[in-house]
């Protein structure tokens, strides 16, 4: 059904199309000069030493685990309140996901105290996910990692340019991973980026990204080499120049888009502030955020009540979603199940409202009024 107010809206115009046409006309569409420029600009934007473009964030997460030397049978502590790709990547290296709960309903990011409780001699890494563009408690998490000699991988797919204590998310741990999926703040349709300050990790990531080859086609085309060796079992995880061309245009737009999203979030909070039946996560968050999504949590609720409210909003022409179903409850992850009461409540009672920079004051007011009516109908 067509919605009066969709969940998100692409920040695209003619410039993305022209950029793609330009890449095609230049006759180099695989990994090449535009990927190189995209990586350089992304690294500069985050003030990080290295950025490696990839075909999507899931493969970036897989590479990150390989760079962290996570092996079969190792344990990786991670949230269940995340998109399943975060955890799937752990299984790609045959490691064991150990689910930790989130801090609370107001701050639904992985809880450092629960991380510490779940460390065992098999623990090799901590994988955090900065939910909605809002940071995990990285000071405590990095302190725990240093105490136990663990690697930290940041799933920062929600947080390009989001900050924590003056640092960009994705640059605090050992490796950071970003997504450029169609509904992300920076969108190339599909695409990802891995960032690190480690020269060793950068070199190995580039090797693993392209079949374990010592050089790629673009490098050989410039006369740097006429032959190559294959020195490690690698993958075809490369981005191409068509996607990178779109990414470069998106980088031109990101700061203005995020500035407007900040305004949209503030208007939302002003319109929802007096509603006693909901919790607005991260309402008191002060650092800069990408505001990727706008979640709310229904108080004293049930799965059925939440879904009835969503259905009423849909009838009002408002598209909503749930970010996310709890991974530890999926059939494939039942063997790793443990009790996560806060995560369970969130998965059953959270609603993601529309969030994008083009939302108007009138639309946000309509969403708030419709939400209030829907909740009152379910009392």
Contact 76, 125 (CB under 8 A): yes
Give the three-state DSSP class for 129.
Answer: strand
Residue 74: is its pLDDT beyond 70? yes
Residue 225: is its pLDDT beyond 70? no
Give the three-state DSSP class for 318.
Answer: strand
Contact 240, 30 (CB under 8 A): yes
Q: Which fold has domain 14-250?
A: 3.40.640
**Was domain 254-377 assigned CATH 3.90.1150.10?**
yes
Q: 294 pLDDT band (50/70/90 cuts)?
A: very high
Instruction: Give me the sign of the Cα torsion angle 92, 145, 112, 335.
Output: positive
Per-residue DSSP letter, 4:
S
Contact 197, 171 (CB under 8 A): yes
Residue 2 has what pLDDT?
Answer: 83
Residue 227 has what pLDDT?
Answer: 81
Residue 219: is its pLDDT beyond 70? no
Whole-prediction pTM? 0.95
Share of the chain above pLDDT 70, in %: 97
Q: 222 pLDDT band (50/70/90 cuts)?
A: low
Residue 224 has what pLDDT?
Answer: 62
Both structure tokens of 359: 């939302």
List all residues 6 or more positions away from 347 whose beta carbon is below 8 Å from its beta carbon. Answer: 81, 322, 324, 325, 326, 329
Between 279 and 218, whose confidence is greater?
Answer: 279
Residue 146: is its pLDDT beyond 80? yes
Cis peptide before 324 (omega within 30 of 0): yes
User: Rounded to the nearest 10 degrees, what angle do helices 84-92 and 57-67 cross at?
Assistant: 40
Least confident of 47-61, 131-145, 224-238: 224-238
Residue 61 has what pLDDT?
Answer: 98
Angle at CA 275, nearest 5°, toward 273 and 279?
75
Residue 4 has what pLDDT?
Answer: 97
CATH 3.40.640.10 range(s) for the chain read 14-250
Show the DSSP H helices in the chain as ranges.
14-25, 33-46, 57-67, 84-92, 112-117, 138-148, 199-209, 217-221, 241-272, 303-315, 341-349, 361-377
Share of the chain above pLDDT 90, in %: 94
CATH 3.90.1150.10 range(s) for the chain read 254-377
The predicted-structure confidence for 250-267, as pLDDT tens digits, reads as follows 999 999 999 999 999 999
């Amino acid at each position: 059904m067509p919605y009066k107010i969709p969940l998100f809206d692409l920040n695209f115009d003619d410039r993305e199309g022209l950029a793609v046409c330009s890449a095609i006309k230049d006759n180099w569409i695989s990994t090449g000069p535009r990927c190189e420029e995209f990586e350089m600009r992304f690294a500069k934007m985050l003030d990080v030493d290295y950025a490696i473009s990839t075909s999507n964030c899931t493969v970036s997460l897989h590479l990150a685990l390989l760079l962290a030397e996570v092996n079969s049978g190792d344990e990786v502590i991670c949230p269940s309140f995340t998109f399943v790709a975060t955890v799937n990547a752990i299984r790609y290296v045959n490691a064991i996901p150990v689910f930790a709960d989130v801090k609370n309903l107001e701050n639904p990011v992985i809880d450092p105290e629960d991380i510490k409780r779940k460390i065992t001699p098999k623990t090799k890494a901590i994988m955090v996910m900065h939910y909605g563009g809002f940071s995990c408690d990285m000071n405590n998490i990095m302190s725990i990692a240093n105490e136990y000699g663990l690697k930290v991988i940041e799933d920062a797919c929600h947080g390009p340019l989001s900050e924590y204590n003056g640092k960009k998310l994705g640059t605090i741990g050992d490796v950071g991973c970003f997504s450029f999926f169609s509904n992300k703040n920076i969108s190339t349709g599909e695409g990802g980026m891995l960032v690190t300050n480690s020269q060793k990790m950068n070199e190995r990531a580039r090797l693993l990204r392209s079949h374990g080859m010592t050089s790629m086609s673009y490098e050989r085309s410039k006369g740097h080499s006429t032959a190559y060796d294959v020195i490690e079992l690698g993958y075809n995880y490369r981005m191409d120049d068509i996607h990178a061309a779109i990414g470069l245009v998106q980088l031109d737009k990101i700061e203005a888009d995020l500035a407007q999203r900040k305004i949209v979030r503030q208007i939302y909070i002003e319109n929802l502030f007096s509603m006693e039946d909901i919790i607005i996560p991260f309402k008191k968050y002060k650092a800069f955020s990408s505001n990727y999504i706008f979640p709310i949590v229904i108080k004293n609720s049930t799965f059925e009540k939440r879904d009835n409210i969503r259905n009423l909003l849909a009838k009002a022409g408002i598209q909503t979603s749930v970010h996310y179903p709890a991974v530890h409850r999926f059939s494939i992850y039942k063997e790793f199940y443990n009790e996560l009461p806060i995560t369970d409540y969130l998965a059953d009672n959270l609603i993601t409202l529309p969030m994008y920079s083009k939302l108007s004051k009138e639309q946000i007011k309509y969403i708030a009024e419709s939400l209030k009516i829907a909740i009152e109908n379910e009392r």
